[in-house]
Amino acid sequence: MMLRPLFSVILPTWNRPGDLLRALKAWENQSGPGGDFELLVVDDGSGPSTARVLAEFRPQRFHLRCFRQENSGPAGARNRALSKASGRYVLFTGDDIEASPELLESHARAHSAADDPRVAVLGHTAWPPGLPLTATMRHIDGPGAEQFSYYWMKDGESYDFRHFYTSNISLRRELTEVEPTGFSTEFPAAAFEDVEYGYRLSRHGMRIVYARDALAFHHHFYDVEGFFRRQLRCGEMAALLWRMRPELGRWLSIGDLEQLWQHAALGSGRLKRSIDRVSGDLDSFEARAISLARLYDRVQPMPRAMDDYLHKLFRYAFLRSLAFGVGRMPARSAAAAFLSLIPPAAKDFAAGLRLEGLFPPTEDLRRILGLC
């Protein structure tokens, strides 16, 4: 009879066989007392390549348990694995996450130090060493913190449910049982379903403790266009979360949308004409805003002016999609969000580039600044 493992590692996967194989090989390298674990992989309706990777992989270090379901998103996949988990602790991760050899040992040590069954341990998720980074990637995991907030975190400190990152987080299995429905399957995409689950757990006293040395690597390339699309999806999922949990509105920028609605409705005649122009051709203006950043997304070193511009660009993408998801004056409030964020940021971006001896795309800048 197999002894109860210390950890049940839960890994949803969908159509990334190469990433999945790298992740499986990394889990084979776990060391130390935390290395007593099972790995539960849920194939979320992938093609045959994923099934082939799982069928051919022969782990020596851990017990691999594989499940398959019709494609329904990561929430349902995690729930399927949770119902089968037998470890003392559950650790959530992803198929594009490469575990360091000491990952589980570090999680086990952090749990032992906390000595609190209500603690969830958040490990650090970083870009892999040697991976060429775009300015977007440096920004979203740096001061922008649109993906992860590690840049602003302190080792050993406690954080709230908004930091329930399922790339690298562990908790007592008994704690997961206080919310037997698990992750909400109303979320079709990987955005805010983990926050919503963390919020429900926090009502039972869960707190998150950050353990910097519990390290994993995130193999996910982003350029400015890709992360802009990701922020659109996040805004859509944030609107869904707000409809489910209206008490979380103050964390989801609903107040900012209220101000934009008023701005669009009560603004001057000039502002209303600009809003009409932008709302009538929103895709074109967005493409111009993105092109301002694209030219310098792969420049080394990253221009200092990039951080603020990327922050405003990705903030706009989130608000734009949130406005459409909430459904009140969507086109005009999205246009108002664009006007309030992008032209001022573009002006400052251009000025910052010139100070560094660089120059923005003239036509795109002219069209955007012409909205002011």
Give the separation between CA 94 and CA 75, rounded to whole angstroms: 12
Q: How far is C-alpha 118 from the geometric centre of its chain's CA atoms? A: 24
- Of the two residues 258 and 320, the one the predictor is more confident about is 320
* Per-residue pLDDT reduced to its tens digit, 66-77: 999 999 999 999
Closest listed residue to residue 26, CA positions, set 57, 2, 4, 68? 57
Q: Is 250 left (phi over 0), alpha (psi -120 to 50) or beta?
A: alpha
Q: What is the mean pLDDT of residues 340-365?
A: 92
Rounded mean pLDDT of 186-212? 95
Q: Is 211 helix (H, G, I), strand (E, B) or coil?
A: strand
pLDDT of 219 > 80? The answer is yes
Q: Give the model confidence (pLDDT) of 25-54 as tens digits.
A: 999 999 876 568 999 999 999 999 999 999
Do 305 and 352 form a contact (C-beta atoms < 8 A)? Answer: yes
Q: How confident is the model at residue 183 (pLDDT cuts 50, 70, 90)?
A: very high
Question: What is the CA 237 to chain-centroid distance, rounded?
Answer: 11
Distances from the Cα of 346 to the Cα of 275, 289, 295, 350, angstroms: 17, 8, 13, 6
Average pLDDT, rounded, for the chain: 93
210 membership: H or E segment, kind and range:
strand 207-218
Enumerate the domain spans of the chain: 7-218, 224-369
Rounded Cα–Cα distance for residues 66 and 305 (Å): 47
- Is a pLDDT exceeding 60 seen at residue 372? yes
Predicted pLDDT at 2: 54
CB-CB contact of 62 with 28 (8 Å): yes
- CATH 3.90.550.10 correct for 7-218: yes
Give residue 359's pLDDT band: very low, low, confident or very high (50, 70, 90): confident
The 10s digit of each residue's pLDDT in 85-97 is: 999 999 999 999 9
Higher pLDDT, 107 or 300: 107
Average the pLDDT over 113-136 and give the result.
96
Q: How many angstroms separate the most distant Cα atoms in the chain? A: 76
pLDDT attached to residue 286: 96
Query: Whole-prediction pTM value?
Result: 0.94
pLDDT for 1 equals 40
DSSP structure string for 233-261: HHHHHHHHHHHH-GGGGGGTTHHHHHHHH
Alpha helices in the chain (DSSP H): 17-27, 48-56, 74-82, 103-114, 135-140, 173-176, 193-202, 224-244, 254-266, 269-280, 282-294, 306-326, 330-355, 362-369
